[in-house]
Each structure stands twice: as C-alpha cells, then as structure tokens.
Structure 1
Amino acid sequence: MKRKPIYVELKMKTDMDQIWACTQKAELHQQWDLRFSSITYLSRKSEESPQSFRYQTRIGFGLHISGNGLTRSSINEVTGVRVSTLAFGSDQPISLIRHGAGYWQYRPNPQDDSISFITKYNYETRFGVLGQWFDRILFRPIFGWATAWSFDVLRLWLEKQIPPAVSIQRAIIHYLSVILLCFLWLYEGIVPKWMYPGAGELGVMQSIGVFAGNEPELLKWLGGAEIILGFTLLGFHRRRSVFNLQIALLLGLAAGAIAGSPTLLAQPFNPVVLSVGMIGLCIIAHLTIRDLPRAGHCIRTMPTKPKGEQEL
C-alpha cells in the first residue's frame, strides 16, 4: 500500500536565528511539538557527525512510545536556505511506526522578512496490513494534523511571544467549553423536548398561554433548533457571533420559562441555573478564540516540485 508523505508548510514572521533555536534546541522543541513529550540530545563524537537523540511520546494510561533518531543540518550559503534531515524509529513492539525519515527546511523570504518553515516525512508501520489500514484511516491524518497544529503553536510563539504552554492551555479550555456547550444543546433538544416532553417542558410552554394549543409542535421545533445549534457550534466555534447568539437565546429561553411558570425558580435545577452555566461557558469560549492555534493556517498539499527539494 503506497503511503503518501506528510507535508506541512507555514510562513512565519521571524528571523532565522529565532526559528532555528526553537526547532534545533531539544528543550525548546519539545515545548511546542505535540508529537513529542520529551526530546533528549545524546553526546556525539564531533561537530561534523550526525546528532543522535532519544524521544518519548505519552499515549495515555501511563504508557509511552520511545524511539531514537539521527539528524544532520546543512546551510546553503548562497540562498540562505537551511535544511535539517532526520531519520527516526522505535524498537518498541507497541509502536505503530517502525522507522521513518524526513526533513525540515527553513526558506528565507526577503520580500516580507519571513521564514517558510517546511517539513516532509514518511514512515513504515508495523502490524502488517492491519497496521497499514489503521495508519491510513486514522493515525496518519491525526499525525499530520498534530504536525500542522504544532507549527501554528510555534508561529504564535515566534510572532506574538505567546508561550506554547499558554497556547495549549487556551486551546484545551476553548475546546472543552465548546464540547460541553454542544452536549448541553443536544441534550436539551433531544431528551426533554423530543423524548420526554411531558416531564415538564410541555407544561412550561402551556403555562405561558399564548400558543393556542400548538405547544407540542412548537416544542419539537424548538428542540430541533437546539440540536441544529449544537452541531453548528462545532463547525463555527471560532466565530464570536455564534456565542453572542447563544447568550441571547439562553436569556430569552430562561426569561420565557420563568415568566410562564415563576415556581420554576424554587426547583433545584431550574432554567436560571442552566442558563447561567451555559452563558458562562459561552463567555469562556468567546474569550479564548483570540490567537487560537489552527492547523488550517498551514499548507498541507505538497507542491508538484517541493520548494528546495533539490537541496536534500
């Protein structure tokens, strides 16, 4: 089965020395690259010999993948392009990756004082045909996404001085808020409005007294709208207008429910409690949108003739 190499390219407004340090020093590299939990450079005989290193990647449940690699760097004195080639692999039986190779390329762009940071790499897998299919369907897309997302974390560090730990923490908070909001909208749309309307939601709508017997149909439509909103949130969570709309809807739904049945305020889980919690999640997600790392900022399609491939 032919394996398509992973290719990622991102232009960064920085200088060569900064990006070189953040990618070639192990203690800095491991801060922004999601693919590695730790990287340790090993001693070498001379400056001319390849740099050997050892890496670890945590995969959860107390387990980790360890491997070894070699890297060598070169500089084109005429163009200023730098290239760092590497070979890597793991002897651990649980590692899907058996061995691989690739490069990092640093291409100066004098016209806008930026650096195009490019990587291309490929690897061989274990576990026969099963491992190849698992890699093709799940692992390789995730690994490519993690590479691109990490590149954008590095860009934010170099361009806006946002430390990788802050970017990663902000992303975790944002996506956790979005997932919780999505779950709550879907739950509210499906369970109390479609599955069990008689448990309370229908009575609240009837108590308002302005829908002339159309409450069951309206309740289903309202549930459908909440379900659509939940799925819409997943696709448009980077737009602040989505969260502004949610806050307005939550305030309206809570006000309507309390106006129709003020006794709801005495219940332990009432519309005010739910709405305040969801509005809080909206505000958190809204605040964490700014400078959120995004794999989509990177070029993921390899050019017909990759830039600088002749230097390898």
Structure 2
Amino acid sequence: MSTTQIARYVICFAWLYHGIFPKLVHVAPLERLMVSSAGFSEEVSIMITRAAGVAEVLFGLMFFFLYKHKLINVLNILGLIGLLIAVYVLQPQLLIEAFNPVTTNIPLIALSYILLKESAEHKKS
C-alpha cells in the first residue's frame, strides 16, 4: 500500500470514527462537556453534537473520494486546527489529558500535508 493510500485511509477513518462513535452511536461525556461549555442547554448540546457527527461522517466520505484535491486537504487542515483552537478556548485542560486532540489532530494535519506534497510532486512529473 502506498503512502498516499495510508494517509487517505487514516484521515478518512479518523473523521468517520469520531463522527460515528462519540457523537452518533453514543454521545460521549467529553463531547457534551465541550458543547455545553459554549453555553448551550443539554438538549441543544446533544443536537449540536449529533449534527457535528453527521458533518464529520460526510466530510470523511468526501475525503475518501476527493483526497487528491488540494481544497479537501486544506479544509481538513483548517478544520483540525479550528477544532484544536475550540478545545483550547472551551476546555484547555483536555489538551494535556490522555488521548487528547493534540495527539490526534497534529498527525492528521501532517498526513494531509503529505498528501498535498505528493499531489504537487505528481503534477510536476
């Protein structure tokens, strides 16, 4: 399997997994904490969390098919940076917990960077 395909599958898997399991199948306590800390009621927080889960699944599927496009990789990088900033603003203590957004988002950003570099090199040849 090529580096490109590994990066593609890992990024896609991360979006799908984080959209499906902690947001759609079971709303994880940390997901509730993040959204409710923005000032939303419990009911609204769950609705927002589930909507975010659907959006993450849709983005993961889009990424699977459009991974060669510069725009989808730039959106991935910007989205992951935005999510890191949201955690920093809403619940900064989560950045030093086990299995935190720093250790998931930064590697995914790096994988998108690899895809961008490989795509640019492929266009040169």
Normalising by structure 2, what TM-score? 0.88
Where does the alignment leave 5 or more consecutive residues of structure 1 unmatched? 1-170, 293-312
What pairs with 1:196-275 in structure 2 (closer than 5 Å)? 196-209=26-39, 211-213=40-42, 214-275=44-105
Secondary structure, counterpart of 2:2 in structure 1: helix
Shift of 1:275: 1.0
Given residue 208 of structure 1, which amino acid in structure 2 is its aligned partner? A
What are the Cα deviations for residues 109-163 of structure 1, in whole angstroms up to 9, with x where unaligned? xxxxxxxxxxxxxxxxxxxxxxxxxxxxxxxxxxxxxxxxxxxxxxxxxxxxxxx
Verify the 8 A CA contact 1:236 1:242 in the aligned structure 2: yes
Normalising by structure 1, what TM-score? 0.37
* Structure ID, larger Rg: 1
Shift of 1:196: 2.3
1:101 maps to what in 2? none
* Alpha-carbon distance between aligned partners in 1 of 2:97 and 2:4, rounded to the nearest angstrom: 30
Secondary structure, counterpart of 1:268 in structure 2: coil
Question: Larger relative CO (CA 8 A, sep 6+): 1 or 2?
Answer: 2
2:110 maps to what in 1? 280
Given residue 3 of structure 2, which amino acid in structure 1 is its aligned partner? I
What are the Cα deviations for residues 61-114 of structure 1, in whole angstroms up to 9, with x where unaligned? xxxxxxxxxxxxxxxxxxxxxxxxxxxxxxxxxxxxxxxxxxxxxxxxxxxxxx
* Alpha-carbon distance between aligned partners in 1 of 2:90 and 2:64, rounded to the nearest angstrom: 32
Percent identity of paired positions between Structure 1 and Structure 2: 26
1:193 maps to what in 2? 23
* Larger strand percent: 1
**Aligned in 2, Cα 1:198/1:235: closer, same or farther, shift over 3 Å?**
closer
The runs of at least 4 aligned residues of structure 1 exceeding 4 Å deviation read none
* Alpha-carbon distance between aligned partners in 1 of 2:67 and 2:95, rounded to the nearest angstrom: 31
What pairs with 1:127-146 in structure 2 (closer than 5 Å)? none
* RMSD over aligned Cα atoms: 1.6
Shift of 1:262: 1.4
1:153 maps to what in 2? none
Where does the alignment leave 5 or more consecutive residues of structure 2 unmatched? none
